[in-house]
Amino acid sequence: MTTPNKDNRKQGAGLAGNAFENLIRKHRKGIVASKASELLAEAVEVARERGAMATLTVKLKFKPQNDDQMMIEADVSSTLPKEKLPSGMMYVDDENLLHTSDPRQKEFALHEVKREAELKEAAPKAVKEA
């Protein structure tokens, strides 16, 4: 087995320029490139939507088998920015329970006016009571 050195790497420099691209396109019929492309599109879309950073990671592990064989394990993953949930206001009562309306405020006894005649009758009464 030969140990890589500068001279050995320079000899294959023409092929080495595209070695990574060739590996991810050819390894397991291009599944690494395909998965990376899917996650890339998703990462860009989510980063734009949420205005935060996303990451895409391609991890390759190399384990020598024989003099001329290499076992390659590939993993493609992404980290997407978390979705920010909206905040909201609620009211707190004397027992520290939360409510969507102010528990100290009285409720009005409202009812639906169905006919125009009832509307005409209800309007003057409401003005007199106020």
3-state secondary structure of 59: strand
Q: Which structure tokens are listed for 122? A: 């209800």
pTM: 0.56
Cα–Cα distance for residue pair 101/93, rounded to 1 Å = 10
Cα–Cα distance for residue pair 114/121, rounded to 1 Å = 12
pLDDT of 29-63, one tens digit each? 999 999 999 999 999 999 999 999 999 999 999 99
C-alpha of 105 from chain center: 41
66 phi and psi, to 5 degrees? -130, -175
Q: For residues 84-117, b (16+ Cβ closer than 10 Å) or e, as one string?
A: eeeeeeeeeeeeeeeeeeeeeeeeeeeeeeeeee
Return per-residue pLDDT of the chain as tens, 130 residues. Answer: 455 555 555 555 555 678 989 999 999 999 999 999 999 999 999 999 999 999 999 999 999 998 899 999 999 999 999 988 889 999 999 999 999 989 888 888 887 767 776 666 766 665 556 5
